[in-house]
Chains A and B, each alone.
Chain A
Amino acid sequence: MNKIKILFVILALIPLMAMAQKEKVSIKSKSRSPQRKFEYHQASNFDMVNGKMNVALNSANGYLFEITSIAVKSLKCKKTLKSNEFTVVLIDNSLNRTYISKPNSKATLHIQCLPNGSYVLIYKGDLYFNKQRLTIHANLQGSINHSQNLKTN
């Protein structure tokens, strides 16, 4: 009986634990030159543009990590998206480089939903700039701040 209670508590706490998870982007590179870390300092920004969700996270040291063009129909809880269902970009302002995902790669984006309506996005995959490859593991959390339908002028 005690074990059941413990299990119940754990299950009940999982959402809270998820909520307490800190956003993070880890960057690994196999190249000889060291890759500086992604220094987190502010919450990510979730927005919707023309029916697609975009998430962006600015670091304190010149990085911008983005997951873009997630179709609304793909925003389902506990769903894992394939690499051709979204785009990931890591902009490095210090080096003026942009690392981009490939649509046919093994990268995945797992979507979790929290009771308060916000999303947890967990990305695992590789990004590329010319021949250099970075392996990214990112955990972003937030709710949609703005929703716009845009047109050019």
Chain B
Amino acid sequence: MKKIVYFFLSLLFTVQITQAQILLDPMTANSPAELEQILKNNDLIKKASLAQRAATLNAPPRLELKNGVIRELVGISPTGMPIYVQTNNNLDAAKTLSTNKVWPSGTLGLSLSGLGMTNRMAVWDGGGVRTTHQEFQSRATQTDGSPSLSDHATHVACTMMGGGVVANAKGMSYQAPIKCYDWNSDASEMSSAASAGLLVSNHSYSQISGWNYNDAQGYWEFWGDPSVSLVEDYKFGFYDNISQQWDQIMVNYPNYLPFVAAGNDRGSPGTIPSTFYIRNLSGDWVKGNSSNPPAAVGPYNSISGGPSNAKNVLTVGAVNKIVSGWTKSSDVVMSSFSGWGPTDDGRIKPDVVANGVAVYSAVATSNTAYSTFNGTSMATPNASGSALLIQQHYNNIKGSFMRAATLKGLIIHTADEAGSSVGPDYTFGWGLMNTAKAVSTISDTSKSMIVQNSLSTSSTYTYTFFSDGLSPIRATISWTDRPGSAPSPSLNPSTKMLVNDLDIRVKRNSDNTVFMPYVLNKANPSAAATTGDNSIDNVEQVYLATPSAGTYTITITGKGSMIGGAQPYSLIVSGITPKPSAAFTTVNKIVCSAKPVIFTDQSSGATNRMWYFPGGSPATSTALNPTVSYQYPGVYPVALRISSSTGYDSIYQDDYITVGGIPLPINETFESNSLTRNLWTVENPNNDTTWRLWTIGGTSPGNTAYGINNYDYPTAGVFDRLLSPVLDLRGYQSAQLDFQHAYTRYDNSGSDSLIIWISTNCGNSYTRVAAYGENGTGNFATAPNNTYASTNRFNPSTSADWCNGTLSPTCYSLSLTPYIGFHNVKIRFEQKSAGGNNMFLDNINITGTSLSPVANFYSLTKTVCVGDEIQLLDSSKFSPNQWKWYVNDADTIIYTVRNPKVKFLTPGVKTISLVVSNSTGTDSIAKINYINVLPSPNIPAITSTRGSVLCDGDSTIISTDVSNNFIWYKNNLPFSTSITSFQAKEEALYFIRVMGANGCYSKSELLDLKTGVTPPKPTITKDLTNFSFCEGGSFNLTSSSLIDNQWFANDTLFQGKITRVFNFNQAGSFKVQVSDKGCVSFSDPIILTMSPRPNTSAIMGSSWAIKGDTASFYVNPGMVGSTFNWTLTGGSVQSGATTSAVVIKFNSTTSSTLNVQENASNNCKGLLQTLNISLVNTGLPNLKNNIEIKVYPNPAQNTIWVQTETRKASKMTIEVYSILGQRVYSNDEEISSGKSQKEIDIRNYPSGMYIIQILSDGKQFTKNFIKE
């Protein structure tokens, strides 16, 4: 900030004048920096001279006017008169950005002021805002309790949201509340506020960079880091850890956008002072070497250090005011101090510019103090305060706030051109912010588009649109990028800070020309923007100033993998030529016969139109808003077809106009859900109090009735009328009017009266049918006089206040039978005031007994072609409410609507029959050979040599088999009548119509030609070690493409498998297809085989065992060469752990579970086999010294052998016990040494487990066996 200290102007000039007293020619400058110095020096000299001359003229150097305007002496005219310039103000700043246009009084007809945007805007500054200043009106809160007030902070806040107590200090969001903070712990406070919904914040400060004048000490200081450079401060354009931190905050809170000042250091200090201070390597301030001083700053790469260089913030530079608003680029005049880009890595900064020169706003000196400041500090709140209004408008339209990237992208997209060449530059950034254009772009959804999407790795976004070539095309993408890695302090490091590199391209589909986004060259910063691949900025824009008409496709892709998995981005497109959309309306849809009906076209994008009014006159029209009359009563449809260069649209409204009146019954409740309430009208001849809807009580349903205030009605004898909708009383045997009324008199002196009239000519004349209370007796009052005497206005609240209530009379009922057979009927309830009390009408019912209908119909068209539609119109009498049409064609087709549209598929004369019915009866009519359907020519063929999808810029030949009398259509518009084939390569919808000799057309099938790009060939990764899997198992195949995967198994489409990972369990050949609009790419096939698994038998062996005993088990292997894995609980494997037979020793648990799984030599496993074994006690003493014994077979059925082997002959006792310990066999015998065996007959044993105990030579052996 440069605070203009005019009071010491002369003194300052005197000091400065000693440095240079000669005006230098600016044309002698050899560089922009030198030019700046010359201009600054000349300025000082001129001011000193001026001060001296002004003193002789007694002309004050500075004037502060009552309205807050500042005038400063800037020259003396040739005639010796002082010349003053006048300060700008916040209002001028608003005009510069066109922010005033969106205010309630602005030209856009909006009412954006920031009202209600609580917790959405904040300011951080060097001190506290004077929140009690009159401009803030209690809308500013110093949230962090900062005690020290700051003129600067107050000034900035007022530019953002000052209320305009002094008109010239009116801020951008002049009714918005604001939270204020000082810059201590700004990042933490920003995060906290953003989590609470903050959208926009202002930061008009930066790190002290380069040259800084120490006011207290009276000398210049150079704030560069001597360890990096003695002549240049590395902080200019540098992406430091603060920039990184702020970028991260915006990633965390994607709706939050900080606005940061670009800094005022460009050109600083002007003339290099001979005396200055600089830090040494110890950080101490020492006098600088005047023979080798640091250079002046800039002009390029002069954005001050700190968050100004962050990627995601919006950095604002300062320009002069444009009071009348921008009209051309040269209107934007750069200030003398605003920082310029690029950043060290070449990014475009500042992002935009705003008014920051001599801005008038509030200050903290007092609650009514104002002052004028210069600086990017002033430009930034001009932009940030305006941005809040853009968010407000978006929320008003969309119901939510936009992302910060969208807001930033939109501001950039709609900025006014500035600088000497088209496109962005490092001076003005993307141009002068234009609030009105940004807001209009949000509103204009037909010609502009704002999209908020997310791009994942390897994905593509496309959007195709049509341009009529009359408007420029501009497409901007913006994204909140992940923070970069801040380099170590160094001079102008070139490392890119961009993390996720998105790209936008715009392709002209007619010739596949691709248009690239803007790029700048940091090596040549003053050069005009060119176009090419931008891998630096997180904003890209493609601009076509004069596009040719046709379709265009926008493509957004990302380079490499998206860090974070996906990158949210925002796309803004302008210059779309909208396709037409048909719509219409009319004020009255229920009209009397022969009364004019005005139809209003509400279509968008239409250049041509054709109206269809079956039953009306005229029957067709090409007028914008035609007037039609209908002679005959009935219910009629209306259709509208529109077209433009981008296509056509149509709308058909069946049963749209009711002519002659609505049929009975009418049950008017006057409640809000009544469909006919709005059809009642009021006549108020003297424009005084009249019939209106009241909130009442005592009737059902609801609480609404029509009433009139006679209590306050001063004039007696005045008529007020309530008129019914137009009624159609044809088709009834009888009709009746019933209604409820509520009324009381003012006093006994008089009575208001109610008269009922009826018209059969749409209200041109009326017949009186009933009158109540005309005799002044009030005999139709429903509430007692005295209750509502002169002090009470009658408003019925209970049923007793209405007719049929306590007082009586009964509710009235009138016969309308004399008027049946008429249409255009109206009933008029006329109230004649006698200065009484209020009168109410409710639940007006008009009912009738229908006559039996008389069927009839007609068609405006009697001759049609095959495939064309005709409209059948019902003209039956006496109000049918059901219709059944029989139309014979190839089959008899039945329609059940009132007025069907019919399409005939076969030629010939057609008979139409109609059956109508209502509650009274049914009638029918048949018209033989009523419609003549002419044959249509053969349907023409349409072929495309390349099919309906063109890949990679390919073209196709489209042709037909007809040779004459045809019309080609492209995108529903006539294309050619002469060529039978042509080449095409852009997306479009084609068909051809051929005309026969009888004037009938036939239309071909539609060819919807699409263009796409063949995606990269996908590869498949398997989760198998080799190319086989085991029977019973499955495998996963993973495609290299993240999206659009379609799997094929054995060349057959695998339905439903559109996923990246394919899980399957059958052998075969597999491949995956990826596609882009039909351009496909297949992977190489992968062939997988299934290896069989062994079919292992069940475990053979006993399901019973003795605790502590051993037993053998085995399985029959499923394959040769297998190994086995035996596991068990309740025991341990003694032998054969890897073979098909195993010996188990059981422990003392009650059960054991034995498992085995076969592992075949092909690495496939068999099914797990399991045997549960119950373990029991023997009931016998546990003996030691076992002998060798074998028992076989086991299990056994009839006989069991006991084979023994002993060392010496001995007596052997063999006993057999049941599992319950019961001895069932015993035998003693002498055996010789060696082997012997004994047969035991077990045929008669019950099935189960038995224990054999052998005692021999003092040794004992126990074995169990199973008797089957």
**Chain B residue at smallest Cβ distance from A45:** B188
**Chain A residue at smallest Cβ distance from B188:** A56
B195 proximal to A (CB < 8 A): yes
- Taking a contact as CB atoms under 8 Å apart, the answer to whether B152 and A54 are in contact is no
**Nearest Cβ on chain B to A98's Cβ, whole angstroms:** 5
B261 proximal to A (CB < 8 A): yes
**New A-B contacts (7) at CB < 8 Å, excluding given A66-B185, A87-B145:** A58-B191, A64-B192, A98-B143, A98-B145, A150-B206, A150-B306, A151-B205
**A146 touching B242 in the complex, CB below 8 Å, given contacts A100-B145, A151-B208, A153-B264:** yes
- Taking a contact as CB atoms under 8 Å apart, the answer to whether A152 and B126 are in contact is yes
User: Which of A66, A98, A145, A152 has the most C-beta atoms of chain B within 10 angstroms of its own C-beta?
Assistant: A152
**A150 touching B183 in the complex, CB below 8 Å, given contacts A91-B144, A93-B196, A96-B119:** yes
Chain A positions 89 through 115: 1 when the CB is less than 8 Å from some CB of chain B, otherwise 0: 101011010101000000000000000
| B176-209 at interface with A (beta carbon < 8 Å) | 183-185, 187-189, 191-193, 195-196, 204-208
- Taking a contact as CB atoms under 8 Å apart, the answer to whether B144 and A62 are in contact is no
- Taking a contact as CB atoms under 8 Å apart, the answer to whether A153 and B208 are in contact is no
**Nearest Cβ on chain A to B148's Cβ, whole angstroms:** 10
- Other-chain contact of B185, A47, A96, A98 (Cβ < 8 Å): A47
With a cutoff of 8 Å between Cβ atoms, the chain B residues found around residue A52 in the complex are 184
B690 proximal to A (CB < 8 A): no
- Taking a contact as CB atoms under 8 Å apart, the answer to whether B187 and A45 are in contact is yes
**A64 touching B189 in the complex, CB below 8 Å, given contacts A93-B195, A152-B125:** yes
- Taking a contact as CB atoms under 8 Å apart, the answer to whether B143 and A56 are in contact is no
**Nearest Cβ on chain B to A81's Cβ, whole angstroms:** 16
A69 proximal to B (CB < 8 A): yes
Instruction: Please list 13 pairs of residues, one from A and one from B, whose beta carbons are closer than 8 Å in the complex, sorted by A's number.
Output: A58-B188, A58-B191, A58-B195, A64-B188, A89-B145, A91-B192, A98-B145, A146-B245, A149-B207, A149-B223, A151-B207, A151-B212, A153-B380
With a cutoff of 8 Å between Cβ atoms, the chain B residues found around residue A151 in the complex are 126, 205-208, 212
B106 proximal to A (CB < 8 A): no
B377 proximal to A (CB < 8 A): yes
A122 proximal to B (CB < 8 A): no
- Other-chain contact of B192, A54, A55, A93, A146 (Cβ < 8 Å): A93
With a cutoff of 8 Å between Cβ atoms, the chain B residues found around residue A94 in the complex are 196
- Taking a contact as CB atoms under 8 Å apart, the answer to whether A69 and B184 are in contact is yes
**A153 touching B183 in the complex, CB below 8 Å, given contacts A64-B189, A64-B192, A66-B188:** no
- Taking a contact as CB atoms under 8 Å apart, the answer to whether B377 and A56 are in contact is no
A47 to B125, alpha carbons, bound, how many Å?
A: 16
- Taking a contact as CB atoms under 8 Å apart, the answer to whether A54 and B242 are in contact is no
A136 proximal to B (CB < 8 A): no
A64 to B141, alpha carbons, bound, how many Å?
A: 16
**Chain A residue at smallest Cβ distance from B339:** A153
**A150 touching B126 in the complex, CB below 8 Å, given contacts A68-B185, A96-B119:** yes
**Chain A residue at smallest Cβ distance from B126:** A152
A62 to B191, alpha carbons, bound, how many Å?
A: 10
Chain A contact residues, CB within 8 Å of chain B: 45, 47, 49, 52, 54-58, 62, 64, 66, 68-69, 87, 89, 91, 93-94, 96, 98, 100, 145-146, 148-153
With a cutoff of 8 Å between Cβ atoms, the chain B residues found around residue A66 in the complex are 144, 184-185, 188-189
Chain B positions 371 through 403: 1 when the CB is less than 8 Å from some CB of chain A, otherwise 0: 000011100100000000000000000000000
**Chain B residue at smallest Cβ distance from A99:** B145
**A49 touching B375 in the complex, CB below 8 Å, given contacts A89-B144, A146-B241:** no
**A153 touching B377 in the complex, CB below 8 Å, given contacts A49-B183, A66-B144, A66-B185:** yes
With a cutoff of 8 Å between Cβ atoms, the chain A residues found around residue B188 in the complex are 45, 56-58, 64, 66
B1 proximal to A (CB < 8 A): yes
**A62 touching B145 in the complex, CB below 8 Å, given contacts A56-B189, A152-B125, A153-B376:** no
B304 proximal to A (CB < 8 A): yes
Chain B contact residues, CB within 8 Å of chain A: 1, 119, 125-126, 141-145, 147, 152, 183-185, 187-189, 191-193, 195-196, 204-208, 212, 223, 241-242, 245, 261-264, 304, 306, 375-377, 380
**A150 touching B207 in the complex, CB below 8 Å, given contacts A62-B195, A69-B184, A91-B143:** yes
- Taking a contact as CB atoms under 8 Å apart, the answer to whether A153 and B184 are in contact is no
- Taking a contact as CB atoms under 8 Å apart, the answer to whether B144 and A152 are in contact is no
**Chain A residue at smallest Cβ distance from B179:** A96
A66 to B190, alpha carbons, bound, how many Å?
A: 13
- Taking a contact as CB atoms under 8 Å apart, the answer to whether A153 and B1 are in contact is yes
With a cutoff of 8 Å between Cβ atoms, the chain A residues found around residue B242 in the complex are 146, 148
- Taking a contact as CB atoms under 8 Å apart, the answer to whether B306 and A45 are in contact is no
With a cutoff of 8 Å between Cβ atoms, the chain B residues found around residue A57 in the complex are 188
A62 to B119, alpha carbons, bound, how many Å?
A: 13
**Chain A residue at smallest Cβ distance from B264:** A153
**Chain B residue at smallest Cβ distance from A60:** B195
User: Which of B191, B212, B223 has the most C-beta atoms of chain A within 10 angstroms of its own C-beta?
Assistant: B191
- Other-chain contact of B196, A62, A69, A87, A153 (Cβ < 8 Å): A62
- Taking a contact as CB atoms under 8 Å apart, the answer to whether B147 and A152 are in contact is no
A3 to B304, alpha carbons, bound, how many Å?
A: 60
A49 to B196, alpha carbons, bound, how many Å?
A: 25
**Nearest Cβ on chain B to A85's Cβ, whole angstroms:** 14
**Chain A residue at smallest Cβ distance from B376:** A153
With a cutoff of 8 Å between Cβ atoms, the chain A residues found around residue B263 in the complex are 153
A153 to B195, alpha carbons, bound, how many Å?
A: 27
With a cutoff of 8 Å between Cβ atoms, the chain A residues found around residue B141 in the complex are 96, 98
- Taking a contact as CB atoms under 8 Å apart, the answer to whether A152 and B1 are in contact is yes
With a cutoff of 8 Å between Cβ atoms, the chain A residues found around residue B245 in the complex are 146
A64 to B189, alpha carbons, bound, how many Å?
A: 7
With a cutoff of 8 Å between Cβ atoms, the chain A residues found around residue B262 in the complex are 153
**Chain A residue at smallest Cβ distance from B378:** A153
With a cutoff of 8 Å between Cβ atoms, the chain A residues found around residue B208 in the complex are 149-151
**Nearest Cβ on chain B to A94's Cβ, whole angstroms:** 8
**Chain A residue at smallest Cβ distance from B177:** A96
**Chain A residue at smallest Cβ distance from B374:** A153
**Chain B residue at smallest Cβ distance from A52:** B184
With a cutoff of 8 Å between Cβ atoms, the chain A residues found around residue B261 in the complex are 153
A55 to B187, alpha carbons, bound, how many Å?
A: 11
With a cutoff of 8 Å between Cβ atoms, the chain B residues found around residue A87 in the complex are 145, 147
With a cutoff of 8 Å between Cβ atoms, the chain A residues found around residue B183 in the complex are 49, 150
- Taking a contact as CB atoms under 8 Å apart, the answer to whether A68 and B264 are in contact is no
**Nearest Cβ on chain A to B934's Cβ, whole angstroms:** 76
A57 to B185, alpha carbons, bound, how many Å?
A: 10
A145 to B196, alpha carbons, bound, how many Å?
A: 24
A68 to B195, alpha carbons, bound, how many Å?
A: 21
